[in-house]
Amino acid sequence: MIKATLKSKLLEDICVHVQLDNHKWTYLFDCGYASLLSHGECQKIKALFISHTHIDHFSNFDFVLRNQLGTGNTTTICGPPGIAKNVQGKLHGYLWNLIDRSSLSFLVREINPDNTIVTYELHPPEWELVKLDEYKDSVIYKDPDFSVNYTILDHNTPSVAYKMSQIDRLKIGEFPFRQGAWISKLKHAYQANDSNLQIDVHGEIFTSGELFQYLYIEKGSSVAYVMDHLGSTENHEKIIDLVGGVDELFIESYYRDVDLEYAKLNHHSTARISGEVARKANVKKLSLVHHSRRYNTEVQDLWEEGRAAFEGREPVFLKPPVSRY
């Protein structure tokens, strides 16, 4: 199970923290100012998936950096073209004369519109950008427990949307024997599609095929993160393609529909449009996040606008919508 938690409060920016069952590391989608993100959580972060580096999505990188110092981690940062220089710029903002190379290092993966991924590494104290490799892939991050796909949206700058998908797991259910080494042997036989393997279950011999009945597949869950983007047909096609059927979608709803023209001007979506695209993508759970502070006193109505579009019904507002721009 993937557990994704919004770490930014209403007046803050945007940051979603991700944990997986039985998994040592944690992950972040964006790191805008988020007071609910703790020191301890920062130390366990293995990778950051950054949509783009407008300040409201990246200003809290310093907090992550501060709390990872001394962990000896190699932390991966994925993001749009130019993010390696943004990361280096942040690092060059401090003095590192007492920090050695073993303290912390970064791998930065820049995602280009043609699916080319360029990887750089940076080490203290100089934090030079050293290019490691360049390859094409639709997957930006792989782990034995999950993988992350992406698409690049137009926000008058590339804005990367991500989907994290947990790998399905082969599990053993209830069985009438004692636990033992036979379980892993059985799982290997299942994965190799071998139903004739002889398996010794504490002195009793079975074929693997006879024991397959005790196995089942636990379906992995998925979460998608779609931040700032123009509510255009082209962006929507890419979003639906990436997030179709996802368990949970975090999507920007920076403006209300009454300010649609202003949203377009700033290459953003509205709560209604984001709700609609989530409905078209058959998303199971919708989380509308990242709102303009101008709607702070009417955020219930902003959510209602997006939720109604998601559920395909008319919204019921507490107050009639009023333009804030």
Give whichever of 224 and 308 is closer to Zn ion, judged by the CB atom. Answer: 224
Q: Do 296 and 11 contact (CB within 8 A), yes or no?
A: yes
Distance CA(62)–CA(93), nearest Å, equals 10
Give whichever of 56 and 301 is closer to Zn ion, judged by the CB atom. Answer: 56
**Rounded to the nearest whole angstrom, what is the least distance from the CB of residue 256 to Zn ion in the complex?**
16
Q: Two tokens at 218?
A: 């636990």
| E strands in the chain | 2-6, 16-20, 26-29, 45-49, 74-79, 105-111, 116-122, 130-136, 139-143, 146-154, 158-166, 169-172, 198-201, 204-207, 215-218, 222-226, 248-252, 285-289
**Rounded to the nearest whole angstrom, what is the least distance from the CB of residue 253 to Zn ion in the complex?**
11
Residue numbers of the site for Zn ion (CB under 5 A)?
54, 56, 228
- Find the length of the chain: 325
**Rounded to the nearest whole angstrom, what is the least distance from the CB of residue 79 to Zn ion in the complex?**
12
Q: Two tokens at 291?
A: 């709102």
Three-state helix/strand/coil letters over 73-85: CEEEEEECCCHHH
Give whichever of 228 and 247 is closer to Zn ion, judged by the CB atom. Answer: 228
**Rounded to the nearest whole angstrom, what is the least distance from the CB of residue 228 to Zn ion in the complex?**
4
**Rounded to the nearest whole angstrom, what is the least distance from the CB of residue 106 to Zn ion in the complex?**
22
Give whichever of 228 and 276 is closer to Zn ion, judged by the CB atom. Answer: 228
Give whichever of 78 and 122 is closer to Zn ion, judged by the CB atom. Answer: 78
